[in-house]
Structure 1
Amino acid sequence: MSSQPLQIISTLRYDPSLPTVVRQRLGNAHTYPDPLLTPYYLLPYHQDRLRSAARYFNWDNASRFLEQDLTQFAQYLDSFIPQKGKCWRVRIVVDQSGGCKVESVAEPRIELENFLVPFIISPASTPWRVFVDIAYTTPSGLTTHKTTAREDYTAARGRAGIATPQDNAEVLLVNPRGEIMEGSITTPYFRRRDHARRDGPAWITPPLSSGGNAGTTRRYALVQGFCTEEVITIRDLIDGEFCLLSNGVRGFLLGKIILKPEV
Protein backbone atom coordinates (compact mmCIF):
# COMPACT_ATOMS: atom_id res chain seq x y z
CA MET A 1 0.00 0.00 0.00
CA SER A 2 1.26 3.48 -0.90
CA SER A 3 2.35 5.72 1.97
CA GLN A 4 0.69 8.69 0.24
CA PRO A 5 -2.71 9.83 1.59
CA LEU A 6 -5.63 8.20 -0.18
CA GLN A 7 -7.51 10.25 -2.79
CA ILE A 8 -10.56 9.48 -4.90
CA ILE A 9 -10.33 9.97 -8.65
CA SER A 10 -12.30 9.96 -11.88
CA THR A 11 -10.89 10.39 -15.38
CA LEU A 12 -12.81 11.51 -18.42
CA ARG A 13 -12.48 13.01 -21.88
CA TYR A 14 -12.99 16.69 -22.64
CA ASP A 15 -13.88 17.07 -26.31
CA PRO A 16 -15.34 20.27 -27.79
CA SER A 17 -16.99 18.17 -30.54
CA LEU A 18 -19.01 16.09 -28.06
CA PRO A 19 -22.13 18.32 -27.75
CA THR A 20 -22.49 18.51 -31.56
CA VAL A 21 -22.01 14.76 -31.97
CA VAL A 22 -24.60 14.05 -29.26
CA ARG A 23 -27.18 16.24 -31.03
CA GLN A 24 -26.43 14.72 -34.43
CA ARG A 25 -26.42 11.11 -33.26
CA LEU A 26 -29.13 11.15 -30.61
CA GLY A 27 -31.53 13.80 -31.88
CA ASN A 28 -33.11 15.48 -28.85
CA ALA A 29 -30.30 13.97 -26.74
CA HIS A 30 -32.70 12.84 -23.96
CA THR A 31 -30.96 9.46 -23.81
CA TYR A 32 -27.58 11.05 -23.09
CA PRO A 33 -27.07 11.62 -19.33
CA ASP A 34 -25.83 15.22 -19.39
CA PRO A 35 -28.62 17.80 -19.52
CA LEU A 36 -26.06 20.58 -20.02
CA LEU A 37 -24.38 18.84 -23.00
CA THR A 38 -20.95 19.84 -21.74
CA PRO A 39 -17.76 18.81 -23.56
CA TYR A 40 -17.04 16.49 -20.58
CA TYR A 41 -17.98 12.89 -21.43
CA LEU A 42 -20.68 11.57 -19.06
CA LEU A 43 -19.94 14.36 -16.58
CA PRO A 44 -22.94 13.72 -14.23
CA TYR A 45 -21.86 10.08 -13.83
CA HIS A 46 -18.33 11.12 -12.91
CA GLN A 47 -19.62 13.55 -10.29
CA ASP A 48 -21.92 10.83 -8.91
CA ARG A 49 -19.02 8.36 -8.82
CA LEU A 50 -16.92 10.77 -6.77
CA ARG A 51 -19.84 11.50 -4.44
CA SER A 52 -20.40 7.79 -3.87
CA ALA A 53 -16.72 7.25 -3.03
CA ALA A 54 -16.67 10.22 -0.63
CA ARG A 55 -19.72 8.82 1.19
CA TYR A 56 -18.20 5.34 1.35
CA PHE A 57 -15.02 6.66 3.01
CA ASN A 58 -17.03 9.05 5.26
CA TRP A 59 -15.25 12.09 3.87
CA ASP A 60 -17.69 14.82 4.90
CA ASN A 61 -15.66 17.75 3.54
CA ALA A 62 -15.20 16.03 0.19
CA SER A 63 -18.92 15.24 0.09
CA ARG A 64 -19.77 18.90 0.69
CA PHE A 65 -17.46 20.00 -2.15
CA LEU A 66 -18.99 17.45 -4.54
CA GLU A 67 -22.59 18.46 -3.73
CA GLN A 68 -22.29 21.58 -5.89
CA ASP A 69 -24.69 21.49 -8.83
CA LEU A 70 -23.63 20.29 -12.27
CA THR A 71 -23.28 23.80 -13.70
CA GLN A 72 -20.94 24.83 -10.90
CA PHE A 73 -18.95 21.62 -11.21
CA ALA A 74 -18.50 22.08 -14.97
CA GLN A 75 -17.42 25.70 -14.46
CA TYR A 76 -14.89 24.58 -11.85
CA LEU A 77 -13.40 22.04 -14.29
CA ASP A 78 -13.37 24.65 -17.07
CA SER A 79 -10.80 26.66 -15.13
CA PHE A 80 -8.30 23.81 -15.62
CA ILE A 81 -8.74 23.42 -19.40
CA PRO A 82 -5.80 25.23 -21.05
CA GLN A 83 -7.45 25.61 -24.48
CA LYS A 84 -11.19 25.06 -24.91
CA GLY A 85 -10.87 24.19 -28.62
CA LYS A 86 -8.64 21.15 -28.01
CA CYS A 87 -9.21 17.66 -26.56
CA TRP A 88 -8.00 16.72 -23.08
CA ARG A 89 -7.75 13.78 -20.74
CA VAL A 90 -9.08 15.20 -17.47
CA ARG A 91 -8.23 13.54 -14.17
CA ILE A 92 -10.20 14.77 -11.14
CA VAL A 93 -8.51 14.08 -7.80
CA VAL A 94 -10.33 14.80 -4.51
CA ASP A 95 -8.81 14.41 -1.06
CA GLN A 96 -10.36 13.85 2.36
CA SER A 97 -10.36 17.57 3.19
CA GLY A 98 -12.40 18.40 0.09
CA GLY A 99 -9.47 19.73 -1.88
CA CYS A 100 -9.76 19.06 -5.60
CA LYS A 101 -6.91 18.91 -8.09
CA VAL A 102 -7.61 18.64 -11.83
CA GLU A 103 -4.94 17.41 -14.23
CA SER A 104 -5.37 18.03 -17.97
CA VAL A 105 -3.27 16.14 -20.55
CA ALA A 106 -3.66 16.79 -24.28
CA GLU A 107 -5.46 14.05 -26.23
CA PRO A 108 -5.56 13.59 -30.02
CA ARG A 109 -8.81 14.48 -31.74
CA ILE A 110 -10.68 11.30 -32.72
CA GLU A 111 -14.06 10.35 -34.16
CA LEU A 112 -16.64 9.94 -31.40
CA GLU A 113 -18.92 7.28 -32.94
CA ASN A 114 -17.83 4.75 -30.30
CA PHE A 115 -18.69 7.01 -27.36
CA LEU A 116 -22.48 7.10 -27.58
CA VAL A 117 -24.85 4.17 -27.02
CA PRO A 118 -25.78 2.79 -29.50
CA PHE A 119 -22.11 3.05 -30.45
CA ILE A 120 -20.36 2.27 -33.72
CA ILE A 121 -17.08 0.38 -33.81
CA SER A 122 -15.35 0.39 -37.18
CA PRO A 123 -14.96 -3.09 -38.75
CA ALA A 124 -11.39 -2.06 -39.51
CA SER A 125 -10.59 -1.56 -35.82
CA THR A 126 -7.59 -3.48 -34.54
CA PRO A 127 -8.74 -5.19 -31.33
CA TRP A 128 -6.94 -4.64 -28.05
CA ARG A 129 -5.19 -7.71 -26.69
CA VAL A 130 -7.03 -8.78 -23.52
CA PHE A 131 -5.17 -11.00 -21.05
CA VAL A 132 -6.36 -12.61 -17.82
CA ASP A 133 -4.38 -11.99 -14.64
CA ILE A 134 -2.56 -15.05 -13.29
CA ALA A 135 -2.99 -13.87 -9.68
CA TYR A 136 -6.13 -13.15 -7.67
CA THR A 137 -7.19 -9.70 -6.46
CA THR A 138 -9.20 -9.39 -3.25
CA PRO A 139 -12.28 -7.16 -3.66
CA SER A 140 -12.56 -4.17 -1.35
CA GLY A 141 -13.71 -0.57 -1.29
CA LEU A 142 -10.51 0.22 -3.15
CA THR A 143 -11.64 -1.89 -6.11
CA THR A 144 -15.30 -0.78 -6.07
CA HIS A 145 -14.34 2.91 -5.91
CA LYS A 146 -11.64 4.47 -8.04
CA THR A 147 -8.82 5.82 -5.88
CA THR A 148 -5.12 6.57 -6.04
CA ALA A 149 -4.48 3.13 -4.46
CA ARG A 150 -3.68 1.53 -7.82
CA GLU A 151 -1.09 -1.05 -6.75
CA ASP A 152 -3.29 -4.08 -7.59
CA TYR A 153 -3.90 -2.75 -11.08
CA THR A 154 -0.28 -1.84 -11.71
CA ALA A 155 0.84 -5.29 -10.56
CA ALA A 156 -1.71 -7.03 -12.81
CA ARG A 157 -0.53 -5.02 -15.83
CA GLY A 158 3.06 -5.92 -15.01
CA ARG A 159 2.27 -9.64 -14.82
CA ALA A 160 0.56 -9.40 -18.21
CA GLY A 161 3.59 -7.69 -19.75
CA ILE A 162 1.76 -4.44 -20.50
CA ALA A 163 4.58 -1.94 -20.51
CA THR A 164 2.93 1.47 -20.87
CA PRO A 165 -0.54 3.10 -20.72
CA GLN A 166 -0.24 3.61 -24.47
CA ASP A 167 -0.22 -0.15 -25.20
CA ASN A 168 -3.46 -1.28 -26.82
CA ALA A 169 -3.68 -4.09 -24.29
CA GLU A 170 -5.71 -4.85 -21.18
CA VAL A 171 -5.64 -7.37 -18.34
CA LEU A 172 -8.73 -8.67 -16.55
CA LEU A 173 -8.58 -8.82 -12.76
CA VAL A 174 -9.90 -12.00 -11.12
CA ASN A 175 -11.25 -12.43 -7.58
CA PRO A 176 -10.46 -15.46 -5.37
CA ARG A 177 -13.66 -17.18 -6.59
CA GLY A 178 -12.30 -17.13 -10.14
CA GLU A 179 -14.76 -14.42 -11.25
CA ILE A 180 -13.78 -11.64 -13.63
CA MET A 181 -13.90 -8.35 -11.72
CA GLU A 182 -12.99 -5.73 -14.34
CA GLY A 183 -10.10 -4.59 -16.49
CA SER A 184 -7.14 -2.64 -15.14
CA ILE A 185 -8.28 0.51 -16.98
CA THR A 186 -11.57 -0.54 -18.59
CA THR A 187 -14.91 -2.24 -18.04
CA PRO A 188 -15.21 -5.49 -20.04
CA TYR A 189 -18.29 -6.85 -21.83
CA PHE A 190 -18.74 -10.39 -23.14
CA ARG A 191 -21.23 -11.98 -25.52
CA ARG A 192 -23.96 -13.83 -23.69
CA ARG A 193 -23.67 -17.53 -24.45
CA ASP A 194 -27.40 -18.33 -24.26
CA HIS A 195 -28.72 -15.12 -25.83
CA ALA A 196 -30.58 -17.02 -28.58
CA ARG A 197 -32.69 -18.80 -25.93
CA ARG A 198 -33.33 -15.83 -23.62
CA ASP A 199 -34.71 -12.32 -23.89
CA GLY A 200 -32.54 -9.35 -23.05
CA PRO A 201 -29.27 -7.82 -24.21
CA ALA A 202 -26.69 -9.87 -26.09
CA TRP A 203 -23.86 -8.55 -23.90
CA ILE A 204 -23.04 -9.03 -20.21
CA THR A 205 -20.68 -7.31 -17.80
CA PRO A 206 -19.52 -8.47 -14.35
CA PRO A 207 -21.79 -7.46 -11.43
CA LEU A 208 -20.35 -5.24 -8.71
CA SER A 209 -20.65 -8.23 -6.37
CA SER A 210 -17.61 -9.68 -8.19
CA GLY A 211 -15.59 -6.77 -6.82
CA GLY A 212 -15.00 -4.50 -9.78
CA ASN A 213 -15.27 -0.76 -10.18
CA ALA A 214 -18.58 1.08 -10.56
CA GLY A 215 -17.41 2.73 -13.77
CA THR A 216 -19.17 5.53 -15.64
CA THR A 217 -19.26 3.92 -19.08
CA ARG A 218 -20.44 0.71 -17.39
CA ARG A 219 -23.34 2.62 -15.85
CA TYR A 220 -24.11 4.24 -19.22
CA ALA A 221 -24.16 0.86 -21.00
CA LEU A 222 -26.46 -0.64 -18.34
CA VAL A 223 -28.88 2.32 -18.26
CA GLN A 224 -29.16 2.30 -22.06
CA GLY A 225 -29.92 -1.43 -22.06
CA PHE A 226 -26.83 -2.41 -24.04
CA CYS A 227 -25.86 -5.06 -21.49
CA THR A 228 -26.94 -6.76 -18.30
CA GLU A 229 -24.96 -7.96 -15.26
CA GLU A 230 -23.91 -11.58 -15.00
CA VAL A 231 -21.12 -13.41 -13.16
CA ILE A 232 -18.34 -14.38 -15.56
CA THR A 233 -15.61 -16.81 -14.53
CA ILE A 234 -12.26 -17.63 -16.10
CA ARG A 235 -13.77 -20.92 -17.28
CA ASP A 236 -16.38 -19.00 -19.29
CA LEU A 237 -13.78 -17.27 -21.47
CA ILE A 238 -12.74 -18.61 -24.86
CA ASP A 239 -9.32 -18.04 -26.36
CA GLY A 240 -9.56 -15.76 -29.37
CA GLU A 241 -13.13 -14.58 -28.73
CA PHE A 242 -13.97 -10.92 -29.21
CA CYS A 243 -15.15 -8.77 -26.34
CA LEU A 244 -15.74 -5.08 -25.75
CA LEU A 245 -14.01 -2.66 -23.39
CA SER A 246 -14.90 0.85 -22.28
CA ASN A 247 -13.65 3.77 -20.24
CA GLY A 248 -14.26 7.48 -19.85
CA VAL A 249 -11.42 8.59 -22.11
CA ARG A 250 -11.59 6.10 -25.00
CA GLY A 251 -15.29 5.19 -25.16
CA PHE A 252 -16.15 1.64 -26.29
CA LEU A 253 -13.44 -0.48 -27.91
CA LEU A 254 -13.04 -3.90 -29.49
CA GLY A 255 -10.94 -6.48 -27.59
CA LYS A 256 -9.76 -10.04 -28.20
CA ILE A 257 -9.27 -12.55 -25.38
CA ILE A 258 -5.81 -14.14 -25.24
CA LEU A 259 -5.66 -17.15 -22.92
CA LYS A 260 -2.71 -18.91 -24.54
CA PRO A 261 0.78 -17.39 -24.55
CA GLU A 262 1.50 -15.40 -27.70
CA VAL A 263 4.22 -17.01 -29.82
Structure 2
Amino acid sequence: MASIPTADAEQTFEIISSLRYDPSLPQATLYNSDSYPDPQNSPYYLLAYHRDRLVAAARHFGWENASKWLQQDLSSFERFLDESIPDRSKPWRLRIVVDINGKGSVDVNPTAAFDPFNLLTPSLHAGRPSHLWRPTLPSGFTTHKTTARNDYTAARLRAGITSPAETSEVLVINPRGEIMEGSITTPYFRRRGPISRLSGQDSAEPAWITPPLSSGGNAGTSRRYALSQGFCVEEVIPQLDLVDGEECWLSNGVRGFMLGVVVLGRQAEKQI
Protein backbone atom coordinates (compact mmCIF):
# COMPACT_ATOMS: atom_id res chain seq x y z
CA MET A 1 0.00 0.00 0.00
CA ALA A 2 1.46 3.33 -1.02
CA SER A 3 1.57 6.09 1.55
CA ILE A 4 -0.10 9.48 1.29
CA PRO A 5 2.47 12.26 0.69
CA THR A 6 3.58 14.32 3.67
CA ALA A 7 4.66 17.94 3.83
CA ASP A 8 8.31 16.83 3.94
CA ALA A 9 7.89 14.67 0.86
CA GLU A 10 6.15 17.42 -1.06
CA GLN A 11 8.49 20.42 -1.09
CA THR A 12 5.91 22.58 -2.84
CA PHE A 13 2.21 22.08 -3.23
CA GLU A 14 -0.94 24.10 -3.72
CA ILE A 15 -4.47 23.72 -2.43
CA ILE A 16 -7.18 23.01 -4.98
CA SER A 17 -10.89 22.58 -5.49
CA SER A 18 -12.65 21.39 -8.65
CA LEU A 19 -16.13 22.59 -9.50
CA ARG A 20 -18.57 22.83 -12.35
CA TYR A 21 -19.63 25.92 -14.26
CA ASP A 22 -23.01 25.28 -15.82
CA PRO A 23 -25.27 28.03 -17.24
CA SER A 24 -28.30 25.73 -16.76
CA LEU A 25 -27.70 25.25 -13.02
CA PRO A 26 -29.82 28.24 -11.87
CA GLN A 27 -32.81 26.66 -13.66
CA ALA A 28 -32.62 23.64 -11.36
CA THR A 29 -31.92 25.55 -8.16
CA LEU A 30 -34.71 28.04 -8.86
CA TYR A 31 -37.30 25.30 -8.29
CA ASN A 32 -35.48 23.83 -5.31
CA SER A 33 -34.57 26.99 -3.41
CA ASP A 34 -35.18 25.36 -0.02
CA SER A 35 -32.69 22.58 -0.71
CA TYR A 36 -29.72 24.32 -2.29
CA PRO A 37 -27.25 26.64 -0.54
CA ASP A 38 -26.77 30.31 -1.42
CA PRO A 39 -25.95 31.77 -3.87
CA GLN A 40 -28.77 30.02 -5.72
CA ASN A 41 -28.54 32.05 -8.91
CA SER A 42 -24.88 31.23 -9.53
CA PRO A 43 -23.75 29.01 -12.43
CA TYR A 44 -20.92 27.75 -10.19
CA TYR A 45 -21.90 24.51 -8.45
CA LEU A 46 -21.86 24.84 -4.64
CA LEU A 47 -19.74 27.99 -4.91
CA ALA A 48 -19.74 28.89 -1.20
CA TYR A 49 -18.75 25.35 -0.22
CA HIS A 50 -15.73 25.42 -2.54
CA ARG A 51 -14.60 28.74 -1.11
CA ASP A 52 -15.06 27.40 2.44
CA ARG A 53 -13.13 24.25 1.57
CA LEU A 54 -10.17 26.26 0.32
CA VAL A 55 -10.25 28.50 3.40
CA ALA A 56 -10.21 25.43 5.67
CA ALA A 57 -7.21 24.00 3.80
CA ALA A 58 -5.31 27.30 3.96
CA ARG A 59 -5.91 27.53 7.71
CA HIS A 60 -4.87 23.91 8.24
CA PHE A 61 -1.51 24.51 6.55
CA GLY A 62 -1.04 27.93 8.23
CA TRP A 63 -1.14 29.92 4.98
CA GLU A 64 -2.15 33.36 6.27
CA ASN A 65 -1.91 35.21 2.94
CA ALA A 66 -3.93 32.55 1.14
CA SER A 67 -6.53 32.50 3.91
CA LYS A 68 -6.88 36.28 3.76
CA TRP A 69 -7.28 36.30 -0.03
CA LEU A 70 -9.85 33.51 0.03
CA GLN A 71 -12.07 35.27 2.55
CA GLN A 72 -13.13 37.85 -0.01
CA ASP A 73 -16.89 38.09 -0.49
CA LEU A 74 -18.53 35.56 -2.78
CA SER A 75 -19.39 38.15 -5.42
CA SER A 76 -15.72 39.06 -5.78
CA PHE A 77 -14.74 35.39 -5.79
CA GLU A 78 -17.27 34.72 -8.55
CA ARG A 79 -15.91 37.61 -10.62
CA PHE A 80 -12.43 36.12 -10.25
CA LEU A 81 -13.76 32.83 -11.65
CA ASP A 82 -15.67 34.60 -14.44
CA GLU A 83 -12.38 35.80 -15.92
CA SER A 84 -11.45 32.23 -16.79
CA ILE A 85 -14.67 31.21 -18.60
CA PRO A 86 -14.12 31.16 -22.41
CA ASP A 87 -17.79 30.78 -23.36
CA ARG A 88 -20.53 31.34 -20.79
CA SER A 89 -23.09 29.44 -22.86
CA LYS A 90 -21.30 26.10 -22.29
CA PRO A 91 -20.51 23.99 -19.18
CA TRP A 92 -16.89 23.85 -17.96
CA ARG A 93 -14.81 21.96 -15.42
CA LEU A 94 -12.82 24.42 -13.28
CA ARG A 95 -9.81 23.60 -11.14
CA ILE A 96 -9.09 26.40 -8.67
CA VAL A 97 -5.45 26.46 -7.53
CA VAL A 98 -4.18 28.64 -4.68
CA ASP A 99 -0.56 28.85 -3.52
CA ILE A 100 0.95 29.70 -0.14
CA ASN A 101 1.19 33.41 -1.07
CA GLY A 102 -2.51 33.70 -1.82
CA LYS A 103 -2.12 33.73 -5.60
CA GLY A 104 -5.07 32.07 -7.27
CA SER A 105 -5.37 30.62 -10.76
CA VAL A 106 -8.01 28.61 -12.59
CA ASP A 107 -7.58 25.78 -15.09
CA VAL A 108 -10.60 25.37 -17.36
CA ASN A 109 -11.55 22.36 -19.47
CA PRO A 110 -14.68 21.41 -21.41
CA THR A 111 -17.12 19.03 -19.72
CA ALA A 112 -20.20 17.20 -20.90
CA ALA A 113 -23.62 18.80 -20.66
CA PHE A 114 -26.26 16.88 -18.71
CA ASP A 115 -29.52 17.34 -16.86
CA PRO A 116 -28.81 19.99 -14.17
CA PHE A 117 -31.07 18.10 -11.74
CA ASN A 118 -28.21 15.57 -11.45
CA LEU A 119 -26.44 18.26 -9.42
CA LEU A 120 -29.09 18.12 -6.71
CA THR A 121 -29.20 15.50 -3.96
CA PRO A 122 -30.69 12.17 -5.15
CA SER A 123 -33.83 12.62 -3.05
CA LEU A 124 -34.76 15.45 -5.46
CA HIS A 125 -34.17 13.50 -8.67
CA ALA A 126 -37.77 12.23 -8.75
CA GLY A 127 -36.87 9.05 -10.60
CA ARG A 128 -34.59 10.67 -13.15
CA PRO A 129 -32.15 8.15 -14.72
CA SER A 130 -28.45 8.39 -13.89
CA HIS A 131 -25.30 6.97 -15.46
CA LEU A 132 -23.84 3.94 -13.66
CA TRP A 133 -20.34 4.26 -12.23
CA ARG A 134 -18.39 1.14 -11.19
CA PRO A 135 -16.54 1.73 -7.96
CA THR A 136 -13.36 -0.14 -7.95
CA LEU A 137 -2.76 7.02 5.50
CA PRO A 138 -5.22 9.64 6.41
CA SER A 139 -3.46 13.03 6.59
CA GLY A 140 -4.01 16.69 5.82
CA PHE A 141 -3.48 15.73 2.18
CA THR A 142 -6.55 13.46 2.21
CA THR A 143 -8.82 15.68 4.31
CA HIS A 144 -7.96 18.73 2.21
CA LYS A 145 -7.63 18.70 -1.56
CA THR A 146 -4.18 19.71 -2.83
CA THR A 147 -2.05 19.16 -5.90
CA ALA A 148 -0.21 16.36 -4.04
CA ARG A 149 -2.32 13.57 -5.56
CA ASN A 150 0.22 11.16 -7.03
CA ASP A 151 -1.08 8.20 -5.04
CA TYR A 152 -4.67 8.83 -6.10
CA THR A 153 -3.56 9.04 -9.72
CA ALA A 154 -1.56 5.81 -9.40
CA ALA A 155 -4.57 3.99 -7.92
CA ARG A 156 -6.74 5.08 -10.84
CA LEU A 157 -4.14 4.01 -13.38
CA ARG A 158 -3.83 0.58 -11.76
CA ALA A 159 -7.57 0.21 -12.32
CA GLY A 160 -7.23 1.35 -15.92
CA ILE A 161 -8.91 4.73 -15.36
CA THR A 162 -7.13 7.42 -17.37
CA SER A 163 -9.66 10.27 -17.52
CA PRO A 164 -12.00 12.07 -15.08
CA ALA A 165 -14.73 11.59 -17.69
CA GLU A 166 -14.67 7.77 -17.45
CA THR A 167 -17.63 6.14 -15.69
CA SER A 168 -15.49 4.04 -13.34
CA GLU A 169 -14.13 4.80 -9.88
CA VAL A 170 -11.88 3.27 -7.22
CA LEU A 171 -12.42 3.30 -3.47
CA VAL A 172 -9.71 4.37 -1.03
CA ILE A 173 -9.29 2.27 2.13
CA ASN A 174 -7.49 3.38 5.32
CA PRO A 175 -5.17 1.06 7.33
CA ARG A 176 -8.12 0.13 9.60
CA GLY A 177 -9.94 -1.34 6.62
CA GLU A 178 -12.50 1.49 6.47
CA ILE A 179 -13.76 3.14 3.30
CA MET A 180 -12.34 6.66 3.20
CA GLU A 181 -13.65 8.04 -0.10
CA GLY A 182 -13.43 7.53 -3.85
CA SER A 183 -10.37 8.73 -5.74
CA ILE A 184 -12.32 11.75 -7.06
CA THR A 185 -15.71 11.28 -5.40
CA THR A 186 -17.57 10.89 -2.11
CA PRO A 187 -19.36 7.52 -1.89
CA TYR A 188 -22.73 6.82 -0.26
CA PHE A 189 -23.92 3.33 0.61
CA ARG A 190 -27.18 1.92 1.89
CA ARG A 191 -27.45 1.40 5.64
CA ARG A 192 -25.26 -1.56 6.65
CA GLY A 193 -27.70 -3.19 9.11
CA PRO A 194 -31.40 -3.31 10.13
CA ILE A 195 -30.87 -0.04 12.00
CA SER A 196 -28.11 2.37 11.08
CA ARG A 197 -25.72 2.44 14.02
CA LEU A 198 -25.47 6.24 14.13
CA SER A 199 -28.75 7.45 12.66
CA GLY A 200 -31.01 5.03 14.57
CA GLN A 201 -33.45 5.11 11.67
CA ASP A 202 -36.01 2.33 11.39
CA SER A 203 -35.19 -0.33 8.81
CA ALA A 204 -38.42 0.44 6.91
CA GLU A 205 -37.12 3.89 6.04
CA PRO A 206 -34.51 4.44 3.32
CA ALA A 207 -31.17 5.72 4.57
CA TRP A 208 -27.79 6.35 3.03
CA ILE A 209 -24.48 6.59 4.86
CA THR A 210 -21.15 8.15 3.94
CA PRO A 211 -17.76 7.71 5.65
CA PRO A 212 -17.06 10.15 8.51
CA LEU A 213 -14.06 12.45 8.17
CA SER A 214 -12.47 10.49 11.00
CA SER A 215 -11.92 7.68 8.46
CA GLY A 216 -9.56 10.05 6.66
CA GLY A 217 -11.43 11.08 3.52
CA ASN A 218 -11.84 14.45 1.88
CA ALA A 219 -14.22 17.11 3.18
CA GLY A 220 -15.93 17.39 -0.20
CA THR A 221 -18.38 20.12 -1.15
CA SER A 222 -21.05 17.76 -2.55
CA ARG A 223 -20.60 15.66 0.62
CA ARG A 224 -21.35 18.69 2.76
CA TYR A 225 -24.40 19.42 0.61
CA ALA A 226 -25.74 15.85 0.94
CA LEU A 227 -25.33 15.92 4.73
CA SER A 228 -26.93 19.36 5.06
CA GLN A 229 -30.00 18.17 3.13
CA GLY A 230 -30.41 15.04 5.25
CA PHE A 231 -29.82 12.70 2.31
CA CYS A 232 -27.27 10.74 4.35
CA VAL A 233 -25.62 10.36 7.75
CA GLU A 234 -21.99 9.69 8.64
CA GLU A 235 -21.10 6.14 9.60
CA VAL A 236 -17.90 4.07 9.53
CA ILE A 237 -18.06 1.68 6.56
CA PRO A 238 -15.77 -1.37 6.83
CA GLN A 239 -14.37 -2.63 3.55
CA LEU A 240 -15.67 -6.11 4.35
CA ASP A 241 -19.24 -4.79 4.51
CA LEU A 242 -19.30 -4.01 0.79
CA VAL A 243 -21.58 -6.24 -1.28
CA ASP A 244 -20.79 -7.12 -4.88
CA GLY A 245 -23.47 -5.67 -7.14
CA GLU A 246 -25.03 -3.34 -4.55
CA GLU A 247 -26.05 0.13 -5.64
CA CYS A 248 -24.33 3.20 -4.29
CA TRP A 249 -24.17 6.91 -5.03
CA LEU A 250 -21.05 8.89 -5.87
CA SER A 251 -20.68 12.66 -5.96
CA ASN A 252 -18.20 15.43 -6.62
CA GLY A 253 -18.14 19.14 -7.31
CA VAL A 254 -18.10 18.79 -11.10
CA ARG A 255 -20.56 15.99 -11.94
CA GLY A 256 -22.95 16.16 -9.00
CA PHE A 257 -24.57 12.85 -7.96
CA MET A 258 -24.16 9.63 -9.96
CA LEU A 259 -25.68 6.21 -9.37
CA GLY A 260 -23.09 3.44 -9.15
CA VAL A 261 -22.74 -0.32 -8.69
CA VAL A 262 -20.07 -1.92 -6.52
CA VAL A 263 -17.79 -4.35 -8.38
CA LEU A 264 -15.62 -6.47 -6.10
CA GLY A 265 -12.77 -8.76 -7.07
CA ARG A 266 -9.64 -8.29 -9.13
CA GLN A 267 -11.33 -5.67 -11.32
CA ALA A 268 -11.83 -3.33 -8.39
CA GLU A 269 -8.95 -1.30 -6.94
CA LYS A 270 -9.82 -1.09 -3.25
CA GLN A 271 -6.68 0.34 -1.69
CA ILE A 272 -3.91 2.82 -2.36
TM-score w.r.t. the length of structure 1 is: 0.90
Residue identity matched to 1:74? E
For structure 1, the 5+ residue unaligned runs are 132-137
List structure 1 runs of 4+ shifted beyond 4 angstroms. Answer: 1-4, 121-124
Residue of structure 1 equivalent to 2:201: 199
Residue identity matched to 1:245? L
Deviation at 1:161, TM superposition (A): 2.6
1: CA distance, partners of 2:201 / 2:163: 40
Residue of structure 1 equivalent to 2:153: 154
Between Structure 1 and Structure 2, how many residues are aligned? Answer: 253
Deviation at 1:70, TM superposition (A): 0.7
Would the aligned equivalents of 1:143 and 1:212 in 2 still touch at CA under 8 Å? Answer: yes
Deviation at 1:196, TM superposition (A): 5.8
Residue identity matched to 2:164? P
- In the alignment, which of 42, 49, 64 is matched to residue 45 of structure 1? 49
Note if 1:23 corresponds to 2:30.
yes
Residue identity matched to 1:173? V
Would the aligned equivalents of 1:195 and 1:202 in 2 still touch at CA under 8 Å? Answer: no
Check 1:242–1:36 CA distance in 2 against 1; reply closer, same or farther (3 A cut): closer
2: CA distance, partners of 1:9 / 1:62: 12
Check 1:75–1:211 CA distance in 2 against 1; reply closer, same or farther (3 A cut): same
* Stretch of structure 1 that moved more, 229-238 or 111-120: 111-120
2: CA distance, partners of 1:16 / 1:195: 42
Residue of structure 2 equivalent to 1:6: 13
* Structure with higher strand content: 1
SS of match in other structure, 1:152: helix
Residue of structure 1 equivalent to 2:88: 84
TM-score w.r.t. the length of structure 2 is: 0.87
2: CA distance, partners of 1:98 / 1:23: 33
- In the alignment, which of 205, 214, 223 is matched to residue 218 of structure 1? 223
Deviation at 1:194, TM superposition (A): 2.9
Check 1:89–1:30 CA distance in 2 against 1; reply closer, same or farther (3 A cut): same
Deviation at 1:260, TM superposition (A): 2.2
SS of match in other structure, 2:116: coil
Residue of structure 2 equivalent to 1:134: none
Deviation at 1:152, TM superposition (A): 1.7
Residue of structure 2 equivalent to 1:55: 59
SS of match in other structure, 1:114: helix
- In the alignment, which of 58, 70, 74 is matched to residue 66 of structure 1? 70
2: CA distance, partners of 1:49 / 1:62: 12
Which of the pair has the greater relative contact order for Cα pairs under 8 Å at 6+ separation? 2
1: CA distance, partners of 2:157 / 2:87: 35
Residue identity matched to 2:237? I
How do 1:134-145 residues align onto structure 2 when only pairs under 5 Å count? 138-145=137-144
Residue of structure 2 equivalent to 1:252: 257
Deviation at 1:108, TM superposition (A): 2.5
Would the aligned equivalents of 1:182 and 1:206 in 2 still touch at CA under 8 Å? Answer: yes
* Stretch of structure 1 that moved more, 29-38 or 5-14: 29-38
Deviation at 1:110, TM superposition (A): 1.2
Check 1:3–1:214 CA distance in 2 against 1; reply closer, same or farther (3 A cut): closer
2: CA distance, partners of 1:203 / 1:152: 28
Would the aligned equivalents of 2:192 and 2:241 in 1 still touch at CA under 8 Å? Answer: no
For structure 2, the 5+ residue unaligned runs are 268-272
Note if 1:34 corresponds to 2:33.
no
Check 1:126–1:19 CA distance in 2 against 1; reply closer, same or farther (3 A cut): closer
2: CA distance, partners of 1:228 / 1:4: 37
Would the aligned equivalents of 1:119 and 1:252 in 2 still touch at CA under 8 Å? Answer: no
**TM-superposition CA deviations, 1:23-47 (whole Å, max 9, x none):** 13x1xx1431123521000000000
